[in-house]
Structure 1
């Protein structure tokens, strides 16, 4: 049975020899619907539609035991739409969704914990609105955002974290993290917004 997490809650993924190794991390979001016109005699018109569609990008930042970027180059420490597969093949991004349209996961990332390099102690899952500042878009204009973990042995959902706060003015989000603790892997639901993160580099710089 899936566990619904609240911000800051943590769960064990591998404790007790569960055998869990391959995980699908699904991230989803919807563009908030504008308020419809109404009121007396239709005097209050609906809000204007945004000029651009929302292009939210999900990425994974790999960190070492010191909480800093793993490795010596971008391909070592980052899996995103420009680098869909880590060299260790432990993390595979299933591709960029340019609009977030449709139900369910908008982007999916597969993680094989058994293949992660020994120097990797944390995987940080982030989402940013591409060029959000330039397009005057922010997470206050997004709804139904979530992250969920699925056990790929049987397709069952392990946990889900729905991001329900008001993130107006923020263009980046640290959604959650999978981290190593005393030889076991855990998941932490974070939901921390980041301002001025329309480009992924701004999120990566937090861990440089």
Structure 2
């Protein structure tokens, strides 16, 4: 796996290419210790031209912009093979007002459970082309973030020539609330971030209007 290096830029799309979508896959393994339950969550913060969060895609709100951004499901234990959670970005359908999508991974209630990425088995995040299904890059999360409970993986940024992925590799203390606050989101509806019953790939939460 490739080390997550701050500032690394990967070209995702360009005018002459047929690549219009990407998939970010998150995976981890069930702990050998039955007492250790790890619940990793992928989230995307959609940031507009004013550098403000327009909306958020996460375990309680699985889609934005009529499916331009979709989170497959909320896997709460890492069971199964392959990617445990998948974030789909249909970049050609993302509104022009959105200039970047911040992608982060958090350990749900990591601080409360004294859990960090260093204690998770085989945690990784990878980027796959939506057209060719080829893996563009794959990052290991455990070693470089052994003391972290939240990591901003990077930003999918709009440019004049298409979209790029710029890595951040920035650890943040705390969970989803800390990530949101780091990007200027300080208020949200009551119980907005409280995890509900697990959603599956066949039961996404499609809201006529986003909660935020």
Interval containing the TM-score (normalised by the shorter chain): 0.7 to 0.9
Q: 1:176 to 1:28 in 2, by over 3 A?
A: farther
Q: 2-side partners of 1:157 and 1:168: how far apart? A: 25
Question: Superposed, which structure 2 residues align to 1:96-175 within 5 Å?
Answer: 96-163=74-141, 165-175=143-153
Q: 1:174 to 1:98 in 2, by over 3 A?
A: same
Q: TM-score, normalised by structure 1?
A: 0.78
1:194 corresponds in structure 2 to 172
Q: 1:122 to 1:192 in 2, by over 3 A?
A: same
**1:148 CA drift (Å):** 1.6
Q: How many residues align?
A: 183
Please say if residues 118 and 142 of structure 2, whose CA atoms lie closer than 8 Å, have aligned partners that are also in contact.
no
Please say if residues 111 and 174 of structure 2, whose CA atoms lie closer than 8 Å, have aligned partners that are also in contact.
yes
Please say if residues 21 and 91 of structure 2, whose CA atoms lie closer than 8 Å, have aligned partners that are also in contact.
yes
Determine which structure has more spread, i.e. the larger CA radius of gyration: 1
Q: 1:157 to 1:18 in 2, by over 3 A?
A: same
1:207 aligned to 2:183?
yes
Identify unmatched segments of 5+ residues in structure 2. Answer: 185-212
Q: 2-side partners of 1:161 and 1:79: how far apart? A: 21
1:25 corresponds in structure 2 to 24
1:62 aligned to 2:46?
yes
CA deviations 1:94-152 (Å, max 9, x no partner) are: 00011013332111011100110111111111111111111121222124322222222
Please say if residues 138 and 168 of structure 1, whose CA atoms lie closer than 8 Å, have aligned partners that are also in contact.
yes
Identify unmatched segments of 5+ residues in structure 1. Answer: 34-48, 71-76
Q: Secondary structure at the match of 1:147?
A: strand
Please say if residues 10 and 165 of structure 2, whose CA atoms lie closer than 8 Å, have aligned partners that are also in contact.
yes
Q: Secondary structure at the match of 1:121?
A: strand
Q: TM-score, normalised by structure 2?
A: 0.77
Q: 1:96 to 1:185 in 2, by over 3 A?
A: same
